Amino acid sequence: MKRTYTHFQTLQRLLGFIGPLKGVMAISVIMRIARQLAATILIALAASGVAWYVAEPGSAVIWSVTGWLVLTAAVLGTVHYIEQFTGHYVAFRLLAMLRNQFYDGIEPQAPAGTVDLRTGDAISRVINDCERIEPFYAHTIAPAISAIVVPAILLTWLWNIDPLLTWTLLPFLACMALVLPAIIVWLGKRGSEETRVIQGEVNAFLTDSFQGIRDTVTFNYGERRRQQVWDMGERLQHAQDQLTGADSVQRGLTELLIASAALTMAWVSITLIEQGTISALGDLPAILAVTISSFAAVVGLTNVINDYRTSLICANRLFELTDQPPVVDDLADHSPSEVSPAVQFDQVCFSYDKTPVLDQLSFAVDAGEKIALVGASGAGKSTVLNLLLRFWDTGSGAVRIGGHDVKDFTLHDLRDLVAVVSQRNFIFNTTIGENIRIGKPDASQAEVEEAARRANLEQWIDSLPDGLDTQVGEMGSMISGGQQQRLGIARALIKDAPILVLDEATSSLDVETEKEVNAAIREASRGRTVIIIAHRLSTVVEADEILVLDKGSIVERGTHEELLGADGVYARLFELQQDEVDGLTDS
C-alpha cells in the first residue's frame, strides 16, 4: 500500500536534505535579501536624484547621484551573481542526492517490488519529477525568507518617517503575502496533481509505443495508439489549463494590488505633505520608490507558488516509490565462508499473491552435479530461480546452499554465488565488451576476450570493424537472438560463479543457433553446479537427473532414459515435442 504524506511532512523532509549544504543556502538567502535591498536603494536613489536636481540644478548633484548609482549597481550585480550561483549549486547538488536516493530505494525492491511499476512512469519520476523539485531549493526557500525580512526592513524605514505610511502599506503587503497565495493554491491544486500523474502516464505510454513500434506497424495498430495518446494529451492540456488559469489570476491580482498600493501611498503622502510632516521633493519620490520595491520580495514568492506546489507533489511521487519496504530484507551482516555449491530445497511452499506455485518442493543438487527442472508453463520452474536468488522469500520450508539457509547470506554475497543465463538476457545499449563486463565490472580486457572466446563469440567479434567496441543498439536491436544469448553466456563465464542456472536459455532459438549456443553452454557448465530450467526437453537429455514439475510438486524424477522407460509425464511431453519437430520438418 502506498504511503500518503501531509504537506508539512513533505516540506520537512525536503528541508532535511539541506543539512550538509545549509551554509551555502544561508549565503544564498543573505545575498537575496541584500540584492532586493540594493535594488530598492537603486530605484530610490534614481527617483530622489531627480528631485535633488530640480531643487538644486548643477553638475555636482548629477555626479554625486551618478556615483552612488554606479556603486549600488555594482553591489547589486555582485550579490545577484552570488545568490544565483549558491542557490543553484545547492539545488543541483540536492537533485543528485535525490536521484541517488531514488535508485537506492528502488534497487532493493527489485524485482518483486517493481512488478507493477511501469518503466516510463518510473523514468518520469526520477527525471522529470526530480527536475520539478529544483525550484523548491533554487527559487522558493530564499524568496520565502526574503519575503518576510525585506518588507520588514522597508516598513521600519517608513515607520521612521511616519507610522501612518507603515500602517497604510502593511495591509497590501499582507494581502499579497497571505491571501493571494491561498487563492492561487486553491485554484491550481487539482491541476498540479493531475498534471504530474498524467505526465507519468504519457511517458509510460510513449515508452511502450517506442519499444513496440514494430508490432504496431505490423498489425496496423497505429491509428488506435495515436487516438490513445491524443486522449492523454487532451487530459494533460485540461490539467495544464487549470495551472495557466491560476497563474493568470495571480499575475492580474498582483498588478492590481501594486497599483492600488502605489495610489493609496501617494494619496497618504500628499496628505502628509500638506500637513508639513514630509517634503514633496525630499521624501515623496523615495517613499513611492520604496512602496513599489517592497512588493518585489513578496511578488517573488507568489510567482513561484505553483512551482512550490508542483515541487511537493513531485516529491510525494518520488517518496511513494522509495519508501516502499523491500519484499526481501537483507537479514545477514556477513556470509558463511568456504561454502560448497550444493543446492537444497527442503519442503518449500510459495505463492504469488495468494496463488499457490510451489507445494512442499524438495530436491538436492550436489556440488558439480547437473539437474534439470521441466514441466508445462506455470509448473513453478522459474520460481525455483527466484527463491534461490532471494528475489522472493519462501512461504515455508528452506532453500540452502552448502547446507546454509540462503537468508544467512548477505544478498550481495548470495548473488555472487549464482550466474544466470535466461531466455531473454537484457542487452544494454552499449558495446559488446561492456555487456560482457556486466558479469564482472572490473574485468580486464584479456578476461573479456577469454569469456567471448569460450562463449563462441570470437569469430563473430573478429569480423566486426570495431570488435568488442561495437555498439549493440537499444535492447540489443543490432545483433541477433543467438548472439544475445551467447553474450548472456559470456557474462556467466566471466562472473565465474560456482552455481549456474540456465533458465529457458535456448527456448527462443532456431535449431541451428541452438546447437551453437549449447556448445557455449557446455563450456560454461564445466566444473559448476548446474540447474537447467527448460521447456524444450532436447536441452536436458544430458542432465544427471531430471525433475518433472506439475503444479509446484515433483511428479517424476530420473535420467532421460529412465523417464522415457517409465512412460509417464516426461515421456509424453518428449514424444509430443518430437512430433512437433517432425511436423515442422515435413512441412
- Does the pLDDT value for residue 355 go beyond 90? no
Among 25-29, 191-195, 261-265, 490-494, the range scoring the smallest mean pLDDT is 191-195
Global confidence as pTM: 0.68
Among 23-27, 31-35, 220-224, 548-552, the range scoring the smallest mean pLDDT is 220-224
In this predicted structure, what is the pLDDT of residue 196?
66
| Distance of alpha carbon 166 from alpha carbon 175, whole angstroms | 14
- Does the pLDDT value for residue 122 go beyond 80? no
Mean pLDDT, residues 521-536 taken together: 82
What cell was used for 114?
517493481
Q: Select the more confidently predicted residue: 191 or 407.
A: 407
- Does the pLDDT value for residue 57 go beyond 80? no
- Does the pLDDT value for residue 585 go beyond 50? no
SS3 readout for 70-117: HHHHHHHHHHHHHHHHHHHHHHHHHHHHHHHHHHHHHHHHCCHHHCCC
Which of 140-144, 159-163, 249-253 has the highest average model confidence (pLDDT)?
Answer: 159-163
pLDDT band at 400 (very low <50, low <70, confident <90, very high): very high
- Does the pLDDT value for residue 343 go beyond 90? yes
**Torsion angle, alpha carbons of 293, 295, 296, 297, to 10:** 120
- Does the pLDDT value for residue 294 go beyond 90? no
Tens of pLDDT, residues 230-239:
888 788 787 7
Q: Select the more confidently predicted residue: 503 or 78.
A: 78
In this predicted structure, what is the pLDDT of residue 11?
84
Tens of pLDDT, residues 170-187:
999 988 888 887 777 676
CATH homologous superfamily for the domain 426-496: P-loop containing nucleotide triphosphate hydrolases (3.40.50.300)
pLDDT band at 110 (very low <50, low <70, confident <90, very high): low
Which of 196-200, 217-221, 447-451 has the highest average model confidence (pLDDT)?
Answer: 447-451
End-to-end CA distance of the chain: 53
In 357-508, which ranges are continuous DSSP H helix?
Answer: 381-388, 411-416, 432-437, 445-454, 458-462, 481-495
pLDDT band at 507 (very low <50, low <70, confident <90, very high): low
Work out the mean pLDDT of the chain and round it to a whole number.
82
In this predicted structure, what is the pLDDT of residue 239?
76
Share of the chain above pLDDT 90, in %: 20
Contacts by residues 435-442 (CB-CB < 8 Å, ≥ 24 positions apart): 435/472, 435/487, 435/491, 436/468, 436/487, 436/490, 436/491, 436/494, 437/494, 438/491, 439/490, 439/491, 439/492, 439/493, 439/494, 439/495, 440/494, 440/495, 440/496
**Amino acid (1-letter code) at residue 554:** I
- Domain segments of the chain as ranges: 7-322, 426-496
Tens of pLDDT, residues 129-155:
777 787 888 878 888 888 889 899 999
- Does the pLDDT value for residue 197 go beyond 90? no
What cell was used for 127?
527525471
**Amino acid (1-letter code) at residue 153:** I
Q: Strand, coil or helix: what is 427? A: coil
In this predicted structure, what is the pLDDT of residue 191?
60
Q: Select the more confidently predicted residue: 74 or 122.
A: 74
Closest C-alpha among 55, 49, 94 to residue 69: 49
Contacts of residue 297, defined as CB under 8 A and 6 or more positions apart, other chains included, come to: 36, 143, 146, 147, 149, 150, 151
Tens of pLDDT, residues 557-584:
999 999 998 888 888 888 887 755 444 3
Tens of pLDDT, residues 300-328:
777 677 677 778 878 887 887 777 777 78
Mean pLDDT, residues 276-299 taken together: 81
- Does the pLDDT value for residue 586 go beyond 50? no
- Does the pLDDT value for residue 289 go beyond 90? no
In this predicted structure, what is the pLDDT of residue 581?
47
What's the CATH architecture for 7-322? Up-down Bundle (1.20)
Tens of pLDDT, residues 241-250:
777 777 777 7
Mean pLDDT, residues 275-297 taken together: 81
In this predicted structure, what is the pLDDT of residue 584?
39
Instruction: Compute the residue count for the chain.
Output: 587
| Distance of alpha carbon 363 from alpha carbon 46, whole angstroms | 89
Q: Find out whether 142 and 32 touch, Cβ atoms under 8 Å.
A: yes
Mean pLDDT, residues 435-458 taken together: 89
Closest C-alpha among 306, 304, 301, 318 to residue 10: 318
- Does the pLDDT value for residue 551 go beyond 90? no
- Does the pLDDT value for residue 194 go beyond 60? yes
Q: CA of 495: how far to CAs of 482, 486, 535, in Å?
A: 20, 14, 26
Q: Which element (helix H / strand E) includes 232?
A: helix 222-275
| Distance of alpha carbon 179 from alpha carbon 172, whole angstroms | 10
In 127-211, which ranges are continuous DSSP H helix?
Answer: 130-139, 141-161, 163-174, 180-211
